[in-house]
Amino acid sequence: MTGLARLALCTVTAMALAASAGAQTKSRSGGKAASPPANPYPQRFQAVCAACHGANGRSDVPGTPVLAGQHSFYAATQLFLFREGRRSNEAMTAVAKTLTDADLRGFSDFIGTLPPVAPPVPATAPDAARMSRGAELAQKHKCVFCHGADLAGGQQVPRIGGQREDYLQMSLQGFKSGKRPGYTMAMSEAVSQVSPEELDTLAYYAARFTRPKAAGN
């Protein structure tokens, strides 16, 4: 299945799941509610999210972000933005608009438990010169100030090390153009003076970033 076909399937699946969730809510409204499982969100993640984001949180669908290793606070914020219509994505909006505040917490708390998953080994080694340039840009434009020297982020700041390159490109370009909203203006201000070429280099670098091994290892 091609990347575009998988992306289309994700959108259709998400919309169908959202419609089904709404129908189930209505059907239960007149009767006694069944006792929910102790923590339904691991199963709900597999049912609602895994088709696009991957069972382990690492997606192979073009343009779909890696959730493995992300922080729960950041995940909750993004789900909220989708639910409130501040971020635009057909599949995500279809799902998020059905979520309660408890669902936002439940899904985001589960996402916060997903350990980081290394990206697939590339067919060719990363371009050393481009990686070096990316590291320079990350320092110059203060990327490491918020995202950390290991690009792992924290709390409301996302992990960008090992994120999909196409998603990083799309996000950085969206922040620069104003099409991608944030919960603060920090990212828009950070990339406002960065050229498109440098944004692509930063995306290339972050997607292929590996944490240096400690001395003696």
Domain with CATH 1.10.760.10 in the chain: 3-23+40-111, 128-208
Q: Which amino acid is at 19?
A: A
- The Cα-based distances of 68 to 27, 65, 110, 114, 116 in angstroms read 34, 9, 10, 5, 5
For the stretch 13-43, pLDDT in tens is 444 444 444 444 444 445 555 665 689 999 9
Q: Which CATH architecture fits 3-23+40-111?
A: Orthogonal Bundle (1.10)
Domain 128-208 grouped into CATH 1.10.760.10: yes
- Confidence bin at 10 (pLDDT 50/70/90): low
- The Cα-based distances of 208 to 35, 55, 83, 105 in angstroms read 45, 22, 31, 30
For the stretch 107-126, pLDDT in tens is 999 999 999 998 888 889 99
Strand locations in 14-106 (E): none
Residues 183-192, mean pLDDT to the nearest whole number: 90
pLDDT in the model for residue 216: 54
Q: Is the predicted pLDDT of residue 93 greater than 80, yes or no?
A: yes
